[in-house]
Chains A and B, each alone.
Chain A
Amino acid sequence: MLAVKVHNLSLKNPVLTASGTFGYGEEFADFIDLNRLGGFVVKGTTGTHREGNPYPRMVETPSGMLNSVGLQNGGVEKFCSEVYHRIKHLDTNIIVNVSGSSIEEYCSVAEQIDALEKIPAIELNISCPNVKCGGMGFGTSPDMAAQVVEAVRKVYHKTLIVKLSPNVTSITEIAKAVEGAGADSVSLINTLLGMAIDIERRRPAMANVTGGLSGPAVKPVAVRMVWQVAHAVNIPVVGLGGISTAEDAIEFLMAGATAIEVGTANFIDPAVTVKIIDGMEQWCKNHGISDINEIIGII
């Protein structure tokens, strides 16, 4: 009833988790059966180990939060030699979020992940707002976005999802550019660039000054962009941004998303993903829908 396909990737349901909000899955194993998920997207992985930005890295804002973690991760070699072996037995799709500061770094990480049998897809992160070099720099220009996707496409042979930034004038132009460069799917939206000030200390709330906004506050922006992109490209769209309930997920599907990612909501309820899956199934039953694909992109 809930099965969908994102290019060659078969998902038992449309529910994935968003990179950076779900660790390597293991952190949530006490709360949910990870095998129930359509899949999960692991933490952004770079060519070498990164310490990320200084603390403080987050601040709560109305119906959302800003974060500026800055891609802290152990690097691709550590992922392949340690983390992968701890999670590869899971019966769900494990997708690696791939980040970098140069085209060479993106390609090197993608190539190493390509060799891992149990990783059927990568999500190419050209939209991180919290790193100085690369990241969002690649995702805000159609030419740069196309260049990095084209280069990665040459070395990566499985499902290639490209994660887009909402911090652009026209997200459809970027989406079309990465589609033309060989992306199999696009996921959107990454966080919206924001800022908060601690007025008592008269200082920015985060050490990095600016950060990415996520949570229910961004949902209407995300729904709008998913709808725009779904009408502009012919590849499947993965929607994310503030999804906390089954109803939110259905809304994204109607806007044109084939699958969705749950992010910040995992912090509020570590079991929310399974509740969303159960809720979507119930919603389908209540509405006489036998195949969730019937509602994808109906708007």
Chain B
Amino acid sequence: MKEIHDFKIIRREQLGQHYFRLVLQHGGTMQPVAPGQFVEVQVEGRPEVMLRRPISVHDVDQETGTMSLLIQIVGNGTRRLAELREGDSLNLVYPLGHGFSTDIASGSRALLVGGGAGIAPLLHLSKVLGTKGVRPTILLGGRTADLIPVRDDFEPYGTLCIATDDGSLGHKGLVISHPAFAESYNIIYTCGPTPMMKAVARSAAERGIRCEVSLENLMACGVGACLCCVTDTDQGHRCVCKDGPVFDTAKMGKWMNV
């Protein structure tokens, strides 16, 4: 069930110049959050950031009632969020949307491909896959090593591979040129810049591998009411907030090939 709740910020970490991470405590019983789901964060205090901001859930600890958000500073809303400090409260509407499907057979070969801020939801996903007996290959990409801020956190949950455009860490080049990308998999999950996700999805389609993408569109309500955040699917316009943000690319031919 979705709820509106004031969380308390119990930790704030600055990760390089462009990213920060907030660890939030519910204080009571937190609603279950599936990998790939997101929250709508209230950014208070300025007319230019009246609407909530959709942020994907980075990590969840159901037992302690904590969740973390990995946020890239990109505009007015995230700049204001970056000013928050430990002890401040943050109002969330959560959990929202349709996440990654994790109902896969133990021992399946799974590849997670994240780029930039798109690596955020893959931590929670890799942990949940671990509980299903799946140890994924985790391929993270960025322009430079700075853009892969939390790579060490992934280390325990899969085989970690890194690609950077400038070669400052790992493989030099795009994620799709990394040797790990060419291996065979039962499923590929991806989140990141749209051109990257389309390239991943097209390659997966060519190789007959099931693929799920997590989209990020401009959004108002977050619950499927306003129909502002739609994406093209083979079944017409669908809300990224409610029908997504995660979509199976088998139904996304129109999106993939444009």
Q: In the complex, which residues of chain B have a beta carbon less than 8 angstroms from the beta carbon of A271?
A: 4
Docked complex Cα distance between A43 and B236 (Å): 18
Q: Are A22 and B225 in contact (CB under 8 A)?
A: yes
Q: In the complex, which residues of chain A have a beta carbon less than 8 angstroms from the beta carbon of B3?
A: 30-31
What is the chain A residue whose CB lies nearest that of B224?
A27
> Provided the pairs A30-B3, A58-B218, A267-B221 are in contact, do residues A65 and B230 lie with their beta carbons within 8 angstroms?
no
A75 within 8 A of B: no
What is the chain A residue whose CB lies nearest that of B241?
A27
Docked complex Cα distance between A57 and B1 (Å): 28
Q: Are B218 and A56 in contact (CB under 8 A)?
A: yes
Q: Are A67 and B228 in contact (CB under 8 A)?
A: yes
B220 within 8 A of A: yes
B50 within 8 A of A: yes
Partner pick for B4 among A31, A56, A60, CB 8 A cutoff: A31
Partner pick for B225 among A57, A215, A266, CB 8 A cutoff: A266
Q: Are A28 and B228 in contact (CB under 8 A)?
A: no
Q: Are A67 and B50 in contact (CB under 8 A)?
A: no
Docked complex Cα distance between A289 and B221 (Å): 35
A112 within 8 A of B: no
A199 within 8 A of B: no
Q: Mask for A58-93, Cβ within 8 A of B = 1, else 0?
A: 111011110101001000000000000000000000
Q: Are A52 and B237 in contact (CB under 8 A)?
A: yes
Partner pick for B1 among A30, A55, A267, CB 8 A cutoff: A30
Q: In the complex, which residues of chain B have a beta carbon less than 8 angstroms from the beta carbon of A298?
A: none
A269 within 8 A of B: yes
Partner pick for A27 among B52, B225, B229, CB 8 A cutoff: B225
Docked complex Cα distance between A268 and B93 (Å): 9
Q: In the complex, which residues of chain B have a beta carbon less than 8 angstroms from the beta carbon of A55?
A: 217-218, 229-232, 237
Docked complex Cα distance between A31 and B231 (Å): 26
Docked complex Cα distance between A27 and B224 (Å): 7
The number of residues on chain B lying at the interface, defined by a beta carbon within 8 Å of a beta carbon of chain A, is: 31
Docked complex Cα distance between A268 and B42 (Å): 7
Q: Is the interface of B mostly helix, strand, loop or mixed?
A: loop
Docked complex Cα distance between A114 and B223 (Å): 29
Q: Are B226 and A58 in contact (CB under 8 A)?
A: yes
Interchain nearest-CB distance for A34 vs B (Å): 13
Q: In the complex, which residues of chain A have a beta carbon less than 8 angstroms from the beta carbon of B221?
A: 21, 23, 27, 266-267, 270
B47 within 8 A of A: yes
Interchain nearest-CB distance for B219 vs A (Å): 8
Q: In the complex, which residues of chain B have a beta carbon less than 8 angstroms from the beta carbon of A58?
A: 218-220, 226, 228-229
Partner pick for B230 among A64, A72, A267, CB 8 A cutoff: A72
Q: In the complex, which residues of chain B have a beta carbon less than 8 angstroms from the beta carbon of A20?
A: 225-227
Q: Are A23 and B228 in contact (CB under 8 A)?
A: no
Docked complex Cα distance between A60 and B42 (Å): 14
Docked complex Cα distance between A215 and B221 (Å): 13
A216 within 8 A of B: yes
Q: Are A51 and B236 in contact (CB under 8 A)?
A: yes
Q: Are B47 and A62 in contact (CB under 8 A)?
A: yes
Docked complex Cα distance between A13 and B226 (Å): 24
Docked complex Cα distance between A20 and B50 (Å): 18
Q: Are B2 and A30 in contact (CB under 8 A)?
A: yes
B128 within 8 A of A: no
Q: Are A72 and B227 in contact (CB under 8 A)?
A: yes
B174 within 8 A of A: no
Q: Are B225 and A52 in contact (CB under 8 A)?
A: no
> Provided the pairs A58-B220, A72-B230, A270-B93 are in contact, do residues A65 and B225 lie with their beta carbons within 8 angstroms?
no
Partner pick for B226 among A30, A56, A59, A267, CB 8 A cutoff: A267
Partner pick for B51 among A27, A72, A267, CB 8 A cutoff: A267
- Taking Cβ atoms with an 8 Å cutoff, the residues of A that contact B are 20-23, 27-28, 30-31, 43, 51-52, 55-60, 62-65, 67, 69, 72, 215-216, 264, 266-271
Q: List 26 A-B contacts (CB under 8 A).
A: A20-B225, A20-B226, A21-B225, A21-B226, A27-B223, A30-B3, A31-B3, A31-B4, A55-B217, A55-B230, A55-B231, A56-B217, A58-B218, A58-B226, A59-B218, A60-B49, A65-B50, A65-B220, A67-B228, A72-B227, A72-B237, A266-B221, A267-B221, A268-B42, A268-B51, A270-B4
- Taking Cβ atoms with an 8 Å cutoff, the residues of B that contact A are 1-4, 42, 47-52, 93, 217-232, 236-237, 242
